[in-house]
Amino acid sequence: MGAQVGRKYASGSIFAALVSAGAAVFLLFRLWGVNWVIEDTNIWFVPALVNALFALSVLLVRINVLHSKLAEAAIEIEKNNHRLQEIVKSSPFPIIISRLSDDKIILANNNAIKLFGILPQEVERYRLRDFFVDADNRRLLSERLEREREVQDFDVLVKTPTGDSPFWLLASANIIDYNNDIALYSAFQDITGRKNREMLLKNQAIRDPLTSLYNRRYFEEEVFNRILVAKTTKESYSVLMIDADHFKRVNDTYGHKTGDKVLIELAATAEKALRDNDIVARYGGEEFVIFLDKANAEKAAVVAERLRQSMSSIVVYSDEGEEVRFTVSIGVSSSDVSDNVDTLIKTADEALYRANQTGRNRVEVFHRSDLQMFNHHENMERKDFAQNHHPVFDGEDNREISLLDGISSNQIHDNNVEIEDKNNTSEV
């Protein structure tokens, strides 16, 4: 192949050889005294002509060398592209090569064609971005490629042209030269199973297994973050505490299985009745807690009453087919009372306690004016706890308590001597 390229671009060398041969013949004629070719008076231009021809020959030779190198480079590029195509086609991983300028797909192996559900003859119709579910995800990948030119182990959520369920891929991409163009080489690995397991573990960590609602820990953490945002936007918010009335009676009468049905129906009713940006969680036992976004105490009371009525109409059936009906009591607290998640939950629970004490199946709202009395009760409870609390029951103060504490070593020695004397006397 190299010899063929050399022969193709040899015109400069041939021309130089002809010029050299012509100059040599002319000089020989002059040496032999043959001056009938050109009169002596008319040969002044010959040296200049020869020099010009030699310069042209050198230029042609250099041009031929450059053409030869370009041709060899083109052949090498073609070989590399062919090798790359063979690697892509034989790779066990789905691989796509797309043009960086317009994102058009240039090459895709069979594994990629199967993965994305496209026809081999229609590959060039698609752009790589057509398969991304999230535009922000695609933009983040592009930004990283601009900075680093290579990205490894990047999670992408993709879809097929037919609109099937999205699935997760682990992508590795780098910028390459392909067919005299700048292209993106992307290799993929299906990690949908791994992502599903991660999602399952995450849900198990933040969800209640019975009702599938968020658990207490997630609720408190998320509400803490929501309150931080609400402080900047000056928006109101409220917390509802819901308790199933006489729930123990349901468990005792119809069994815990029926009690579980009650809790599941309560959770489903709460989720259906609320907005997507509200948070519903199982707080413990038969208690549920709700965060209402952009809702003051008045609006929260209306929502709570609507929930109370909806839940009072729920009917579940025991294993024996008996109808089981129940009611709920609801306590409400709002951002007018506090911007602390713990205080909001405690005050909502206090309002729930009042609802239970005043007949159940009702809604009670904790107002800012109730704070003074509530704080007084809180302080009294803490004082009672401190007075009636012994360090032996405190997990943070677990030092051993000895019966000899407060007695000096001399007293112990004197007592021991006295006891020993008594023993000796009795023996006598």
Active site (catalytic) residues:
286
CA dihedral sign of residues 385, 390, 395, 397: positive
For residue 76, the tally of other CB atoms under 10 A from its CB is: 11
Backbone angles phi, psi at 84, to 5 degrees: -65, -40
Contact status, residue 131 vs residue 186, Cβ threshold 8 Å: no
Tokens 């005299």 locate to: 180
Residue 402, classed as helix, strand or coil, is coil
Beta bridge mates, 229: none
Backbone angles phi, psi at 168, to 5 degrees: -100, 140
Q: CA 167 to CA 193: how far, in whole Å? A: 9
- Angstrom CA distances, 78 to 144, 173, 250, 350, stand at 29, 22, 79, 79
- Angstrom CA distances, 399 to 387, 393, 394, stand at 19, 11, 10
The string of DSSP codes covering 195-244 is: HHHHHHHHHHHHB-TTT--B-HHHHHHHHHHHHHHHHHHT--EEEEEEEE
- Angstrom CA distances, 247 to 253, 286, 321, 356, stand at 10, 7, 19, 12
Q: Is 246 left (phi over 0), alpha (psi -120 to 50) or beta?
A: left
Beta bridge mates, 242: 288, 330
CA dihedral 235, 241, 242, 245 (to 10 degrees): -150
